[in-house]
Chains A and B, each alone.
Chain A
Amino acid sequence: MLINPIFALQALPVDVNFASIAPELIVIIAGVLVMLVDAFAAPKQRWLTGGISLAGIVAAGVACVLMWNDAGTGGVVTSSFNGMIVVDQMRLSFTFVFLIVSALTILMSMLWVEREALPAGEFHSLLMFATAGMMLMASGGDLVIIFLGLEVLSIATYVMAGFRRNDLRSNESALKYFILGAFSSAFLLYGIALTYGATSTALEGGTTNIAVIADRIAAGTAIYPQLLFAGAALMIIGFGFKIATAPFHVWTPDVYEGAPTVVTAFMAAGPKAAGFAAFMRVFVFGFPLVATSALSIQVHAAWINALVVLAILTMTIGNTAALVQKNVKRMLAYSSIAHAGYALVGFIAAGVTLDITKQNDAIAGVVFYMLTYAVMNLGAFAIVMLIARGGDRRTELEDYTGIGFKAPALAFALSLFLLSLLGVPLTAGFIGKVVVFRSALDPAVMNDYRNVMTLLVVVGVINTAISAYYYLGLIVVMFFRERTTEWRAPRVPASVAVTLILTLAGVLYLGVFPGKVIDAFRRNAINVSRLR
């Protein structure tokens, strides 16, 4: 007699737990509220929607902190909605990063929506939904939630990229992003479907729950293990597109260059981090190495090796291509590709570290890296936005010629962000790289992968040396080249000034006193593979 899956479902009532999705709920409600307010408020009140969004993000942040304090102490469930949502350190840290990214983006956007007379309400509500999507990608314990989160995020970003409707570049950017994004989503979805099929057991249908996938692989009860390989490969492609690893990075330069600078800043910081959250969740926890299972060893080796090659390609292509760029946004786009490569090193380290504490350290390292990258990247883009002026017209390298002593504050701030992106000590970027490379060289890394990880770190460090060329190039252009044409420093409105102060403080704080943040990211870490 077979067990009917339907009865199994009926036997499991949904464990609805709103507390476990409080940050997501708050952000979504704020998004809806923004729409409603925007519909009834006077058209000039742009600060209103931004204010509501910010308030929502702060509230979500508070909820996040409350959950943080409870996490691991038994005060909060570790999973809810039948395993759809997980509450662990990785999720909460990533959520924290997303909230910071969104808050800074909103601050930056205040100037932009006003300057270009764009519909602020729509922009802010889309941004809030995108934030919710990112948070779902981090909190999903199930492939379905992760996919939905990714789609919510993607659709919002497609629209935001094309938000400046009267600009052909913006339209083109949105269209390219949409077509290629849909293309890659198809890969991801097909991968999920194959994984579902692969994990069917003799008694039940397949599963999309990451923890259960890991269990079934380990226990050897999956009946179509061969499909797992195809599923994992397709999911790597889908996620690889999202975080812009080579060779799935091709969309990045065009999309980043064409999109409004605010949106570019957001795309480089937020969705990339969200992509990492989901990517790590699925692969580190869904396809871990279990020594007793031949299948698990095989799958694990396959995805690790694939990622190693992708990481090397990503770092190298990102940095070498950035060398010859003449457009600052395009250069930063390639730089963002390179940074994804560095972060991948930490991701792979998490994959090849078996010790649970060390693995959590490695994951915390990646989250920290994404935080540092987000802060310095948003800061750099805020200045790029100011210098670009209306319509994002001034983004060529030559537009930066000799502004060093005409707008010293802006130029020095931008130099600091660039140095941080380069990874100079006492800046956030340095600590991020140290933390990521440290976990890659940790003795806890499996013996088989020692050499590979060393190779990755060597490639990474050599690439940082290469990257000095183009980051410094921009600084040299700003300070050592004479400007022949007239140029006036742009006005810095209060909201952007706040963004800059926050990001500058962030770059220095994370560079000088990173201890507290790193500690928070790795404290009380709960390993999701033990959850249901």
Chain B
Amino acid sequence: MIIADLFQTLIWIVLAGLAIGSGVAMVVQRNPLYAAISLIGVFISFAGFYLLLGAPFIAAVQVIVYAGAIMVLVVFVIMLLNVEEEVRKPLRLKFLIPAAIFGAAILFAQAAFIIYSVGASPVRVPNADAANSQIGLTKSIGTGLFTDYLLPFEITSILILMAIVGAITLARRPTVLLLVEEDYDGKKHVERRTLKIDNI
């Protein structure tokens, strides 16, 4: 048992290092493609966390949906739009950098304090042992979706439908629009405008 625990801790440390490293890399990278690939690294290490916590289904979904589908889409967009490497410009809001570091430090301290308080709590959880938990398993998620969470599941379909409508509305092919308006002089101005992608 002790060896298994030790092994788990070891894997956890490796994954955590990978997640943080990829996250930092993603922010720092100037080439968007590299940034995207760093993000994939973050997602993969998260999938590892889920596995460690005994939630194989979520781990799989993480890999398939995030690291797979979404990132493929992102990479395609980057390639199709032919996004250039970012040229470093002089920072205008320099004061935000120390502020951000300071803020991050405080946030970290707050999080650490809360986690510490939880750890200091005398109550222990009987079924905290990950191996016994049913949460995160395919079966429990499926059951949940069709019992307690039936309605949220259905509402999600509305959400997605609306996202599609919105995306189409905003990203429709360039069209010619008529702008009819009446100005102070009472005359009607009719203006034809061609929408181009770089107008948006």
Contact = CB atoms under 8 A, between A and B. Distances in A.
Given a CB threshold of 8 Å, the question of whether A touches B is answered with yes
Given A159-B170, A205-B135, A226-B117, A148 B148 contact: no
Contacts of B134: 4-6
A389 interface: yes
B117 A145 contact: no
Contact of A144 (B126, B135, B152): B152
A171 interface: yes
Given A5-B134, A165-B195, A205-B135, A126 B155 contact: no
Given A6-B134, A126-B169, A226 B125 contact: no
B127 interface: yes
Contacts of A462: none
Nearest to B155: A148
B7 interface: no
Contact of A125 (B132, B165, B170): B165
Interface in A208-230: 223-227, 229-230
B166 A145 contact: no
Contacts of B139: 6
A487 B185 CA distance: 7
Contacts of B165: 35, 122, 125-126, 129, 159
Given A82-B148, A84-B151, A166-B199, A490 B166 contact: no
A145 B200 contact: no
Contact of A226 (B121, B140, B156, B180): B121
- The residue in B143, B179, B180 that gathers the most chain A C-beta atoms within 10 A of its C-beta is B179
A389 to B, nearest CB: 6
A151 B159 contact: yes
Given A132-B158, A226-B121, A491 B182 contact: yes
B185 to A, nearest CB: 7
A485 interface: yes
Interface residues of A, number: 67
B62 to A, nearest CB: 15
B184 interface: yes
Interface in B140-194: 140, 143-144, 146-152, 155-156, 158-159, 161-163, 165-166, 168-170, 177-186, 189, 193
Query: What are the 6 A-B residue pairs with the smallest beta carbon separation, nearest first?
Result: A390-B181, A159-B166, A226-B117, A81-B151, A129-B162, A117-B178
Interface stretch (A9-17, A62-70, A95-103, A317-325): A9-17
Interface of A: 2, 4-6, 9-10, 12-14, 16, 21, 28, 32, 35, 81-82, 84-85, 114-119, 122, 125-126, 129, 132, 136, 142, 144-145, 148-149, 151-152, 155-156, 158-159, 162-163, 165-166, 171, 174, 200, 202-203, 205, 223-227, 229-230, 389-391, 485-488, 490-491
Contact of A12 (B148, B152, B155, B177): B148
15 contacts: A6-B134, A21-B151, A82-B148, A82-B150, A122-B168, A144-B149, A151-B159, A152-B162, A155-B163, A166-B179, A202-B125, A223-B121, A223-B123, A224-B121, A389-B183
B6 interface: no
A52 B178 CA distance: 25
B114 interface: yes
Q: Which of A171, A200, A390 has the most CB of B within 10 A?
A: A390
B44 to A, nearest CB: 21
B114 A226 contact: yes
Contacts of B185: 486, 488
B97 interface: no
A156 B158 CA distance: 11
Contacts of A82: 147-148, 150
Given A159-B170, A224-B118, A6 B143 contact: yes
A155 B178 contact: no
Given A6-B143, A229-B114, A145 B152 contact: yes
B155 A16 contact: no
Nearest to B149: A144
Interface of B: 110-111, 114, 117-118, 121, 123, 125-127, 132, 134-135, 139-140, 143-144, 146-152, 155-156, 158-159, 161-163, 165-166, 168-170, 177-186, 189, 193, 195, 199-200
A129 B158 CA distance: 8
Contact of A2 (B127, B161, B195): B127
A114 B180 CA distance: 8
A496 to B, nearest CB: 14
A117 B191 CA distance: 11
Contacts of B132: 2
Given A165-B200, A487-B184, A10 B147 contact: yes
B2 to A, nearest CB: 24
Contact of A166 (B111, B151, B177): B177
B165 to A, nearest CB: 6
A155 B148 contact: no
A85 B180 contact: no
Tell me which of B121, B139, B144, B159 has the highest count of chain A C-beta atoms within 10 A of its own C-beta: B159
Given A117-B178, A119-B169, A200 B125 contact: yes
Contacts of A6: 134, 139-140, 143
A117 B163 CA distance: 22
B121 A488 contact: no
B134 to A, nearest CB: 5
A129 B166 CA distance: 11
A116 B190 CA distance: 10
Contacts of B121: 223-226
A114 B181 CA distance: 10
B169 A163 contact: yes
Contact of B125 (A155, A223, A391, A486): A223
B181 A117 contact: no
Given A6-B139, A148-B152, A227 B114 contact: yes
Given A159-B166, A166-B193, A487-B184, A391 B150 contact: no
B168 to A, nearest CB: 8
Nearest to A156: B162
A258 to B, nearest CB: 14
B180 A155 contact: no
B155 A152 contact: yes
